[in-house]
Structure 1
Amino acid sequence: MSLGDTPAVARRRVRLAIRDARNAKGYTQGQVADAMDWSLSKVMRIESGEVTISPNDLRPLLNYLGIRDRVLIESLVQSAKASKQRRWWDESRFQGMITPAMRQLIGLEAEATIIRHFYPLYFPGVLQTREYARGIMDQYSHELTPKERDARIEARIRRKQGLLQREPRPRVFTLLDESVLLRTMGIGRVNLGQQLNEVAEAIQDGWLSARIHPFDNAYPGVGEFELLYLEADDVAHAVLYRESLVFDEIVDNAHRIVQHRALWDRMWNAAISKEQSTQMIKTRAEELLRSDP
């Protein structure tokens, strides 16, 4: 299956085509809902990527939006069909347990060719060990039920497994604040050491590059974010994911993506070198694994 036919990419292509065509016509989402005899929430969820649209719904919608090109219509219909293929994150155990934005992230992450992270507090989910993920989720015992926490931990492990099974693997560039090497997340020093060891092994394997944003550098004043590139390394093929506490969002706005990429580039270039960062990770892991739990 070509990259353009994969479910997450196909869903994104359809929803952006719908949104762009609606904007070109000057229609509001409410006007589309009225014309199609749908609820407003259905239109909003289709455009946000929370749900897919069936080919039977898509054809009259494209007609209403003024799209007459038969080749384009058929291409979008095929993408709508491709977007409905079920993947592991569609399993019932994850329904309602992970956010709509996280479901989109998982799909895009599974198909991205390049991923850039900035994480100032902890390691990115796709790099976490089970124990480390449990330590993070336990911080949200008041916001999430045990079932939700377990599902999110399992999703993180499945994401990592999926990435490791891909051929070729995506190129992953992770920028971490220096404090991430020190914060045990309530899991103990040995478990943090094992987490650091796994990251060091990923760097050694060649698919992960990591740099440390040192304490001496100014803090950028933003939370964690990810930039995912589905084909070429440019904004036209990029998606931004942002997370704060238990809330998250997928951003398709080109201006905001460009802003975050520029910030990421500045921080990456000002960070400790890849070689020295890798040595810091290894040294910290050795120090932790020599200590008592």
Structure 2
Amino acid sequence: MPAVARRRVRLALRSAREATGLSQQDVAGAIGWSLSKLQRIELGEVTISPTDLRAALEKYGVTDENYIASLMEDAWAARRERYWTNPEYREHLPPGLLQLLQFELAATSIREYQTAMVPGHLQTAAAADATIGWFDKSLTDDERRVRRDVRLSRKRDVFEREGAPHYLLLLDESALWRSVGGLQVAADQFESLAEEAALPNVHVRVLPMDAGALMGSSGAFVVLDLSDEPDDAVLYRETYLRDELVQDPAEVGYHRDVFERFWYRALDEDASRALILARVYDLRARIARAACGVDGTPT
């Protein structure tokens, strides 16, 4: 998990520097680095070589050999990222999603808010095909294929592995009224979502449209906690063909607070599951009526 390793190294270095009271300028000058190099390392924009890591830790007075060895291993892991990532993923997925896939494997809890549709990793194969099909010519055939494969594998990798994180999904009610892929695909999708919501580590709540007007303006996002430490978390945001992974503690904390506020305004889990199933029954009734010629040709 190179992205996780890189984060551990950058947080450890920043914390060690701050403990000494030294500024970035002080450290860069003392070690012989440019200021921008140190800034980029602490922001996680670049990896650090084991040699540079040891020089920095020596400057900060870190002497615990076990701790140093652990950070050195993380530094090596981060620099080996190109060998650990599926080559097709590197070629066809946006950078934020590549990092998200790694953070998901290390997460202890995941909070996700979706405004328009069921999240990709909870989509059925047919719903994934319909959703990715929306991109029309914005994606190549290879990009479509890789995104589909990733959507279907993430459910297994995130929810079905040992030590799976607690997953909290806050779904805007409007998502239930979008028949992505037609009535049959939508009915199967919502039925699948209701089944996933029954898993012990999966918690799904529906935010009524009248209660979620303000929440909807924030856009979809995901907050991943990597430990019990509040600052040890990342934020993922995605819009159409662009995405980003944010590690600023203030920004992550703000989105976590927004999520928590609206989580308790949403329908509880039993009521949410009942609403999702009611939508399934409605869709299946419409399909049956259409098949009998009562209200036209099925969608």
TM normalised by structure 1 equals 0.82
Q: Which runs of structure 2 are paired with 1:267-278 in the superposition (5 Å)?
A: 267-278=262-273
Residue aligning to 2:171 = 176
Letter in 2 for 1:27: Q
Distance of aligned partners of 1:202 and 1:19 in 2 relative to their CA distance in 1, 3 Å threshold: same
C-alpha deviation, 1:111, in angstroms:
1.7
Higher mean C-alpha deviation, range 130-139 or range 152-161: 130-139
Question: Structure 1 pair 192/87, CA: closer, same or farther in 2 (3 Å)?
Answer: farther
Q: Partner letter of residue 69 of structure 1? A: V
Cα contact 2:113–2:221 (8 A) shared by 1: yes
5+ unaligned residues in a row in structure 1: which ranges?
1-5
Provide closer, same or farther for how the CA distance between residues 27 and 209 of structure 1 changes in structure 2, counting only shifts above 3 A.
same
TM-score (structure 2 length as normaliser): 0.81
- Structure-2 change in CA distance of 1:236 and 1:43 (3 Å): closer
Contact persistence 1:50–1:101 (CA under 8 A): no
Tell me how far 1:160 sits from its aligned partner. Answer: 1.2
Query: 2: CA distance between counterparts of 1:145 and 1:52?
Result: 31
Q: Cα–Cα, structure 1 residues 36 and 157, in superposed 2: closer, same or farther, change >3 Å?
A: farther
Q: Secondary structure at the match of 2:279?
A: helix
- Cα deviation for residue 94 of structure 1 reads 1.1
1:187-237, CA deviations, whole angstroms, 9 ceiling, x for partnerless residues?
A: 1111111111111111122221111111221332111111111122x5222
The structure with more radius of gyration: 2
Residue by residue over 1:142-195, the C-alpha shift from the partner in whole angstroms, topping out at 9 and shown as x without a partner, is: 43222222212211212112123311321111001111111123x111111111
Residue 208 of structure 2 aligns with an amino acid whose one-letter code is: P
CA contact (8 A) 1:226 1:242 kept: yes
1:167 aligned residue (162, 166, 171): 162
* Residue of structure 2 aligned with 1:286, choices 260, 277, 281: 281
Equivalent position of 2:120 in the other structure: 125
- Larger mean Cα displacement after TM superposition, 173-182 or 75-84: 75-84
Deviation larger for 66-75 or 213-222: 66-75
RMSD: 2.9
Aligned to 1:214: 208
Deviating more after overlay: 51-60 vs 195-204: 51-60
1:246-266 Cα offsets, whole Å, 9 max, x none, are 211112222112211111111
SS of equivalent residue, structure 1 residue 249: strand
Q: Which region of structure 1 is more displaced relative to structure 2, 114-123 or 213-222?
A: 213-222
Instruction: Indicate how the Cα distance of structure 1 residues 289 and 81 shifts in structure 2: closer, same or farther if over 3 A, else same.
Output: farther
Aligned residue type for 2:184: V
Percent of pairs with identical residues = 34
Matched, 1:199 2:193: yes
The 5 A counterparts of 1:1-293 are 7-19=2-14, 25-27=22-24, 35-36=32-33, 44=40, 47=42, 49=44, 52-60=47-55, 62=57, 66-71=59-64, 72-83=67-78, 90-185=85-180, 187-217=181-211, 218-220=213-215, 221-232=217-228, 234-290=229-285, 291=287, 292-293=298-299
